[in-house]
Amino acid sequence: MSLYVMKFGGSSVGDTERMKRVAARIVEKQDEGHQCVVVVSAMGDTTDDLIDQAKLLNENPPAREMDMLLTTGEQISISLLSMAIHSQGRKAVSFTGWQAGFRTEAVHGKARITDISPERVHKALDDGNIVIVAGFQGMSEEGEITTLGRGGSDTTAVALAAAISADVCEIYTDVDGVYSTDPRVVKCARKLPEISYDEMLELANLGAAVLHPRAVEYAKHNQVKLVVRSSFNHNEGTVVKEETSMEQGVVVSGIAFDKNVARISILGVADTPGILAQVFGELAKEGIDVDIIVQSGVQNGEADFSFTVSLHDRERALSVIERIRGELPYRDVTSEDNLVKVSIVGAGMVSHPGVAAQMFDVISRQGVSIKMVSTSEIKVSCVIDGSNLEGVVQALHTAYGLDTDQQASIGGPQVRR
């Protein structure tokens, strides 16, 4: 008997009909002779709706109360799913994150898991139950309810799979695997039968929404076997694992893009030791993540440098820079927001020179200028103007030999892609 963790996202349980379909899928897995622990997100747009309601009452609601509010979305899902499973004559029990043993930092909105004590989960399994666990939530040592941030249900599932030594952690979503790029943008995107943790982590960090980066990190660290598959069909999914067999001739595995990009430039900064440490140290204190950093040459003892942040952090970052102007004089500061980051990822890039040059050539042939570049052993990222994103992604996809005639299944029955 194998132990499976099955995670279903909000679109998979978006209404009662979909909830019934998920319940049948779980019962089917149990009928195959497996024990099942299921992690569930809030139904459909529940979380966004709760946020909107909160902001109608308070534009800046307290973080503690937001966690109290948002965790109710998953609690609705787990109880309804448990009821649906009971209606099919099976035993099921639902647990909140803290009932399942999740302990987190004392941070609201984006807490990290510190420990999991899954004794109640094990006992419920031993009693013959299908166990339903609320994703996205836990409790601090002080007894405060916390949330894990966006994508937290993925992290819940992987962390729980590691804690209970599950054989497989299946992530069910509205697409039937990991694709070479978003099949909604490139109709001929290729489904990958397998992908390495490192490649998946790069894609997730660079904008691919199928898995959350923290979940992939947790899976890699704990060697959790991940399978991404559709909740709407029984197609083979994508296996995420330590090493993958290199497909002949395919150097780039995937293309990711991120529309949530802003560039900030600080002009005329004195070229003295410690300047960058001061600027980025202050940004870090405010919890602002900085991505690409580029410094220009020095003229007359002054330098210019630019960096990217997420779009929703732009105003906070500009405020920090304005605040430290007295300690760090500069001539001017500018920002841009009509930008996207396009990235190519592939383990095969390590041994194939010219991959980056080909990317730059393809982008230039689309009439698009490259504003910033960042590289690692298995990825190249370019920040470009956002006006021709789809054309650039399609051209890159074709140039690296990723186009295919296969079908993509998105949110239901197969459609020709």
Determine contact, residues 265/352, Cβ cutoff 8 Å.
Answer: no
The band of 417, judged by pLDDT with boundaries at 50, 70 and 90, is: very low
Q: Which residues contact 13 (CB under 8 A, 6 or more apart)?
A: 19, 22, 40, 41, 43, 44, 77, 80, 81
Q: Note the pTM of the prediction, 2 decimals.
A: 0.84
Quick one: pLDDT at residue 409?
58
Nearest 5°: phi and psi at 30? -65, -35
Determine contact, residues 150/358, Cβ cutoff 8 Å.
Answer: no
- Cα–Cα distance for residue pair 275/270, rounded to 1 Å: 8
Q: How far is CA 162 from CA 94, 107, 150, 210, 255, in A?
A: 19, 23, 20, 20, 29
Determine contact, residues 182/189, Cβ cutoff 8 Å.
Answer: yes
Quick one: pLDDT at residue 416?
26
Quick one: pLDDT at residue 168?
96
Alpha helices in 208-347 (DSSP H): 213-222, 275-285, 314-323
Quick one: pLDDT at residue 7?
97
Our CA dihedral for 265, 269, 275, 276, rounded to 10 degrees, sits at 20
Determine contact, residues 42/10, Cβ cutoff 8 Å.
Answer: yes
pLDDT, one tens digit per residue, over 83-140 is: 999 999 999 999 999 999 999 999 999 899 999 999 999 999 999 999 999 999 999 9
214: pLDDT strictly greater than 60? yes
pLDDT, average across residues 352-362: 92
- Cα–Cα distance for residue pair 365/343, rounded to 1 Å: 17
User: Mapping DSSP to helix (H, G, I), strand (E, B) and coil, where does residue 117 land?
Assistant: coil
Quick one: pLDDT at residue 57?
97
- Cα–Cα distance for residue pair 219/207, rounded to 1 Å: 18
pLDDT, one tens digit per residue, over 385-395 is: 988 899 999 99
- Cα–Cα distance for residue pair 42/245, rounded to 1 Å: 36
Residue 35: CB atoms within 10 A of its CB come to 20
- Cα–Cα distance for residue pair 202/196, rounded to 1 Å: 10
pLDDT, average across residues 239-253: 73
Quick one: pLDDT at residue 411?
61
244: pLDDT strictly greater than 60? yes
Between 132 and 276, whose confidence is greater? 132
Percent of the chain with pLDDT over 90: 70
DSSP 61-72: --HHHHHHHHHH
Determine contact, residues 61/54, Cβ cutoff 8 Å.
Answer: yes
414: pLDDT strictly greater than 60? no
Q: Which residues contact 175 (CB under 8 A, 6 or more apart)?
A: 183, 210, 228, 230, 408, 409, 410, 411
Block residue for tokens 């004559």: 89
DSSP 350-413: GG-TTHHHHHHHHHHHTT--EEEEEEETTEEEEEEEGGGHHHHHHHHHHHTT------B-BSSS
DSSP 174-194: SBSS-BSS-TTT-TTPPBPSE
Quick one: pLDDT at residue 363?
96
Determine contact, residues 231/172, Cβ cutoff 8 Å.
Answer: yes
Quick one: pLDDT at residue 154?
94
pLDDT, average across residues 137-155: 93
